[in-house]
Amino acid sequence: MYGPGMAITRAELARLVDHTLLRTDASHADVLALVAEARDLGVYAVCVSPSMLPVPDLPDTLKLATVCGFPSGKHTTAVKVAEAAESVRLGADEVDMVIDLGLLKAGRYRDVVREVRAVREEVPLLKVIIESAALSDEEIIVACEAAAEAGADFVKTSTGYHAAGGASVHAVSLMSMTVGDQLGVKASGGIRTYEFAAALVAAGATRLGMSATADVLAAAPE
């Protein structure tokens, strides 16, 4: 883990990035451009909407991620499970699933665990989006514990579409302390500068979801 005052280089940062395109008006041509840029930037993965799958001619150096129950999380469990399973069939290596915040805020912990576990059974690697900006610290901890109990691989801060906002250093630090080495922590939503990206990594983020990847990496030290 990178601590305060430890600069993360361009290449190191790139290997933590899911280069993301989740715009509602994105076309298949946009996805192909995203993949070409991702290859040149040396990032870890590309993340696109399920309707953009499969992605042709994806380099072996890139993982393919997609989203599930996005962005509201208010889909039924059966729909989320079906969406995740189809995405994997169409080539997705990783799925970023949005939880139902209403269940969490109503204290229905077991229902959150059951839904996450049901999706987890369909995918090779699952990231659980908790919309940390919309949660209290206690709720963030509970959401992380539910994701861990359900067998998720990562907890993720945000969709980037919630009115409450995106990633924060505080949320990432709290999520990292809660899951320890058991799960990864993905920060996403509003990451547009190298300084912010580096601060999130120093706070414990092990993956970053960004669409402004080229600008962020251009400002990173070699």
Please tell me the pTM assigned to this model: 0.96
pLDDT score for 213:
98
CA dihedral 109, 113, 119, 123 (to 10 degrees): 140
CB atoms within 10 A of CB 7: 12
pLDDT at 20 exceeding the cut of 80: yes
Q: Which amino acid is at 150?
A: A
**Helix, strand, or coil here: 46?**
strand
pLDDT score for 7:
87
Distance CA 204, CA 3 (A): 9
For residue 13 the two structure tokens come to 């940062």
Domains located in the chain, CATH noted:
10-218 (3.20.20.70)
For residue 133 the two structure tokens come to 């900006």
pLDDT score for 100:
98
Task: Report the phi/psi class of residue 15: left, alpha or beta, with left for phi > 0 and alpha for psi in -120 to 50.
Answer: alpha
Q: Which amino acid is at 56?
A: P
Distance CA 134, CA 150 (A): 21
pLDDT digits (tens, 9 = 90+) for 102-142: 999 999 999 999 999 999 999 999 999 999 999 999 999 99
Mean pLDDT along residues 15-21: 98
**Helix, strand, or coil here: 84?**
helix
- DSSP one-letter code for 144: H
| Residues designated as active site | 96, 156, 186
pLDDT at 151 exceeding the cut of 70: yes
For residue 172 the two structure tokens come to 């990432």
pLDDT at 187 exceeding the cut of 90: yes
Mean pLDDT along residues 182-196: 98
Distance CA 155, CA 53 (A): 23
